[in-house]
Structure 1
């Protein structure tokens, strides 16, 4: 019998996403493998930061677990992966349970620079933060729930990356009326571009406009979302070879957080 690892979700929680994960692979015969066990194994890798080959023996074989992760992570062009569809469903369900609309009207955008390991294929250098690696760009609502995630190499500017992220998720962000950003997104060109894409207004909060050192208003929400990701050792550094794999690991982390709230 498999151990109950802290990274696991319950079978009841897994039922919320089981149907989406099952439909990714056409069945020609009854499935002998329990997808719940596979999903928990993927969460174990994410939470512990171990290599795929170092999965405990009470999980399914690592080759099978890795195969399913690849299937769930695959995205063709601008088409979302299975994990991204799962996250979108959970975010909408969580908002409805809290008495909110499915789509948010308010977003906070920020980025996080993360160091690379030697196994990564895509590398860049963030001169401002002196970090060689990647950048995670996210747009969250007032509850810290992600509505858009985008991964780039670290040399990409926050403004240009945010524009691409919003362009990619403009259907999901179509109801947004206001976007809150920090001084790194200052500029009339950025604000006008956002206005053109989703007809939202950009508000920039600058620290030098405050009379004393305090947490920037509402900015702590997106910082808390980044802090949630830090609870997963796999995300402490970027050890993924492909940018898409880095993206799917971030998506998986948010899925794990939301599942445990149901």
Structure 2
């Protein structure tokens, strides 16, 4: 098969091969190498194309999309194969840096993204003046994602962060402090976080610095959003359902961690 710039190497794929192959639901032999399938999904996400426009060098688009849906499907605990792969990579990278599996310090931020006409779930973000979705993330001091959530854009940063923390309580169980920007200011938000996971909230406001500088420690989450900009499928929300938008985001994060580390 012809190699494309978006493809990962075979060595990089070995990091996640067993996890993806373990998701098979049928007993008959596979028609395609899942390495080719993964690279095909990556071509779609990084190139920002439609599934039907996959080059003929890759497996048929119907098969590629089928495997993506299998990897994205939530189990009885609400976790997908892609979610498990992302958590595995985060733990592995932290362990290699002689850190514990779970972070004790989380940096929270959100990114509003405009919807394409194919999206069904949308809301209006009055601050950014766009109709679309909002991506919420928690990263550690290395910039590794420990929790993500996707909501409609009309959900405030504070409410979206609470939803994200509730869904990812296990991953954030060791967090003692969350660092946030001025959009999360408020005693109600701080009290909710304290009640949910017994963590403190520290707000860093840009106007308190009296000049334009990179906010302390928050540059790592901004860097993550910069990495995500390399995936054209994420420039707009093209997915009909929020759950698929979240899995596309998870897939992009997996690709970032495989390549960067």
Normalised TM-score (structure 2): 0.97
SS at match of 1:260: helix
**Equivalent position of 1:185 in the other structure:** 184
**Equivalent position of 2:260 in the other structure:** 261
Unaligned runs of 5+ in 2: none
Greater Cα shift, 33-42 or 71-80: 71-80
**Equivalent position of 2:132 in the other structure:** 133
Greater Cα shift, 237-246 or 29-38: 29-38
Report how far residue 260 of structure 1 moved.
1.2
**Equivalent position of 1:109 in the other structure:** 108
- The 5 A counterparts of 1:1-262 are 2-76=1-75, 79-262=78-261
Report how far residue 42 of structure 1 moved.
0.3
Cα distance in 1 for partners of 2:103, 2:26 equals: 36
Cα distance in 2 for partners of 1:28, 1:134 equals: 38
Cα distance in 1 for partners of 2:77, 2:187 equals: 28
Cα distance in 2 for partners of 1:250, 1:185 equals: 23
Cα distance in 2 for partners of 1:118, 1:29 equals: 38
Report how far residue 5 of structure 1 moved.
1.0
Greater Cα shift, 75-84 or 58-67: 75-84
Cα distance in 2 for partners of 1:132, 1:26 equals: 38
SS at match of 2:29: coil
Normalised TM-score (structure 1): 0.96
Cα distance in 1 for partners of 2:229, 2:260 equals: 18
SS at match of 1:172: coil
SS at match of 2:78: coil
Cα distance in 2 for partners of 1:126, 1:20 equals: 37
Deviations 1:35-62 (A, max 9, x none): 1110010000011011111101010001
Report how far residue 217 of structure 1 moved.
1.1
Deviations 1:134-175 (A, max 9, x none): 000000111111100000000001111101100111111011
Cα distance in 1 for partners of 2:99, 2:17 equals: 24
- How many correspondences in the alignment? 261
Report how far residue 188 of structure 1 moved.
1.1
Cα distance in 2 for partners of 1:185, 1:67 equals: 39
**What is the root-mean-square deviation in Å for CA atoms of aligned residues?**
1.2
Does the CA-based 8 Å contact 1:110-1:138 persist in structure 2? yes
SS at match of 1:56: coil
Does the CA-based 8 Å contact 1:108-1:140 persist in structure 2? yes
Does the CA-based 8 Å contact 1:107-1:180 persist in structure 2? yes
SS at match of 2:112: strand
Unaligned runs of 5+ in 1: none
Cα distance in 2 for partners of 1:121, 1:111 equals: 21
C-alpha change, 1:77 and 1:208, in structure 2 (3 Å) is farther
